[in-house]
Structure 1
Amino acid sequence: MFTGLSAFPLTPTTENGIDEPAFVRLVSRLAAAGVDSIGALGSTGGYAYLSREQRARAATAAVEAAGSIPVIVGIGALRTRLVLHHAADAQAAGAAAVLLAPMTYQPLTDREVFGLYEAVTAELEIPLVVYDNPGTTHVTFSDELHGRIAALPNIGSIKIPGVTAVAAPTRIAALRRLIPAHVTIGVSGDWLATGGLLGGADAWYSVLGGLFPETAVAITRAAQAGDSAAAVTASDRLEPLWALFRRYGSLRVMSAAAETLGLVASPNLPLPLLGLDPAARTELNATLRDLGLGG
């Protein structure tokens, strides 16, 4: 479950709630494409903007739509008590694992971050993925902290920020020396993911895979087979899309792309988040057409 491609879909949302039929369509497409796992309610899934009830419904819908594909459900929240509630709901929904980022308003100390994971893993009956995403959470994990957390019960994987192809082997090897052998390392930052996979990472936790699973699966399988030339070529071909991710944010780009493909209605992001402006949408649609991804 914590190897290969983990695809993270949107959770189409309006001020009236989740568009559950659209969400089910997105998850079903991922299952049909043969991804290795599905990451529901990740950052791309807008978990931080949803109520407990909405998140519980989305978790249940994802598990049902995924069929035999394991679902990893995001449980992050500002307070430990709320995280524990989301963890209980994810387990009740049949999630195979949970994903936890240390959300915060006040800066967290290492002691506080460790205490969060210690409290949550003590209550879990399923594995947990540590979500290291300083660009969003403003929490920076040291390798020493990763090592301490990875030694807790029920830790299954660590999702680290993107790392360049040159730095990936050293970065991943250094972290691997500090964590138990059963804990896998997964990379994010889609434009850097191929270098991470070829540099020793076990998994790609992918935004792209949440909407274009066949494309992401092909890159992942090439990397897993050791065909570095094919994996790098396939990823480099997507550079125009990666550039839009970096410029506008991957969530907004995937939201607009899903609209272009007719998979979701507009709007589909929770306010105050807004979709791409008309000029950016025109640029995105041209990029999708050029890449043969629709548009």
Structure 2
Amino acid sequence: MFSGLSAFPLTPMQHGVVDEVAFIRLIERLADAGVDSIGALGSTGNYAYLTREERARIAQLAEKHAGDIPVIIGISALSTRDVLALAEDAQKAGASAVLLAPMSYQPLSEEEVFGLYETVAHNLSVPLCVYDNPRTTHFEFSDELHGHIAQLPNVGSIKIPGVPAAPDAASVRIERLRTLIPSHITIGISGDPLAAIGMNAGCEAWYSVIGGLFPQTALAITRASQAGDTQQALRLSERLNPLWALFSQHGGSLRVIATAAELQGLAASPCLPLPLQGLDKKGRQNLARVLDELSLT
């Protein structure tokens, strides 16, 4: 479950409520593609903008429509109390695993973050993926903290941000982290533009934004790296440089992917929860051109 391609779909909105029909369409698209797992209610799934009831419903729909594909449900929230409630909802829905980032309003210390994972890990009956996402949480994990958390029960994977772009430096990064965590815990890469480098450097999983919308494209990169064809994985990723450039231009992947879903007819426009907005007219035109040139699937 914590290896290969983990595809993270949008949670499309329409008129301020979750567009369940569009969400089901995205989940079934991923199941049909044969991704290795589905990560619902991650950052791409806009979990922070949804109520507990909406998140519970999304967890139920993801599990119901994923077929035999394992479903990982995001349970991140500001308070430990709410995280535990969301974990209960995810487990009741039948989730195969949960994903937890240390969200905060006040800056968190390492002791507070460890305490969060310690409490949650001891209250789970399914595996936990540690979500290291400093861009969103503004918390920087040390490798030593990852090693400490990795000793807790039920921890199954660590989702790290992008590795260094230089392959040798990426390998050093992964090798150092690997020395601090048990061998049964996988390391997964996020940050799609660096995913091929990360997998080639030893990451067992790719927690993927584009995989949630274009699963076949992401699977091709994943399978090449898994087969040891590192150059092919890099070539396939580099082919997507125009898309990666748009991610950088627009402050990350979310607005680009949401607009791509609208352009592909997979979500109504606008599909993001306010105050978030998709790309403007010029941005949409540029994205449409890139999608056409790349023939993404």
1:272 to 270, 275, 287: 275
Deviates further, 10-19 or 145-154: 10-19
1:290 aligned residue: 293
Q: Aligned partner of 1:291: which letter?
A: L
**Does the residue aligned with 1:167 lie in a helix, a strand or coil?**
helix
Q: How does 1:130-209 map to 2 (within 5 A)?
A: 130-163=130-163, 164=165, 165-209=167-211
RMSD, matched Cα: 0.8
**Are positions 1:39 and 2:27 aligned together?**
no
Q: Aligned partner of 2:199: which letter?
A: L
Distance 2:296 2:14 in 1: 26
2:94 aligned residue: 94
**Are positions 1:251 and 2:254 aligned together?**
yes
- Stretches of 4+ moved more than 3 A in 1? none
Deviates further, 164-173 or 132-141: 164-173
Q: Aligned partner of 1:91: which letter?
A: Q
**Does the residue aligned with 2:168 lie in a helix, a strand or coil?**
coil
Distance 1:51 1:108 in 2: 23
TM-score normalized by the length of structure 2: 0.98
Measured against aligned partners, the alpha-carbon deviations of 1:89-108 in whole angstroms (never above 9, x if no partner) come to: 00000000000000001000
Measured against aligned partners, the alpha-carbon deviations of 1:65-105 in whole angstroms (never above 9, x if no partner) come to: 10100000000000000000000000000000000000001
Q: Aligned partner of 1:13: which letter?
A: M
Q: Aligned partner of 1:9: which letter?
A: P
Measured against aligned partners, the alpha-carbon deviations of 1:108-150 in whole angstroms (never above 9, x if no partner) come to: 0000000000000110000000000001110100011000001
Deviation of 1:15 after TM superposition, in Å, equals: 4.8
Distance 1:21 1:132 in 2: 31
**Does the residue aligned with 1:9 lie in a helix, a strand or coil?**
coil
Deviation of 1:60 after TM superposition, in Å, equals: 0.4
**Does the residue aligned with 2:184 lie in a helix, a strand or coil?**
coil
1:216 to 208, 215, 218: 218
2:235 aligned residue: 233
**Does the residue aligned with 2:180 lie in a helix, a strand or coil?**
coil
Distance 1:128 1:53 in 2: 21
Q: Aligned partner of 1:10: which letter?
A: L
**Are positions 1:262 and 2:265 aligned together?**
yes
Deviation of 1:286 after TM superposition, in Å, equals: 0.3
**Between Structure 1 and Structure 2, how many residues are aligned?**
294
Q: Aligned partner of 2:256: which letter?
A: V
Q: Aligned partner of 1:58: which letter?
A: I
**Does the residue aligned with 1:32 lie in a helix, a strand or coil?**
helix
**Does the residue aligned with 2:181 lie in a helix, a strand or coil?**
coil
TM-score normalized by the length of structure 1: 0.98
Contact 2:14–2:268 under 8 Å retained in 1: no
Distance 1:32 1:22 in 2: 15
Contact 1:62–1:71 under 8 Å retained in 2: yes
Deviation of 1:246 after TM superposition, in Å, equals: 1.3
1:59 aligned residue: 59
Contact 1:63–1:94 under 8 Å retained in 2: yes
Listed as ranges, the gaps of 5+ residues in structure 1 are none
Distance 1:101 1:62 in 2: 20
Contact 2:16–2:273 under 8 Å retained in 1: no
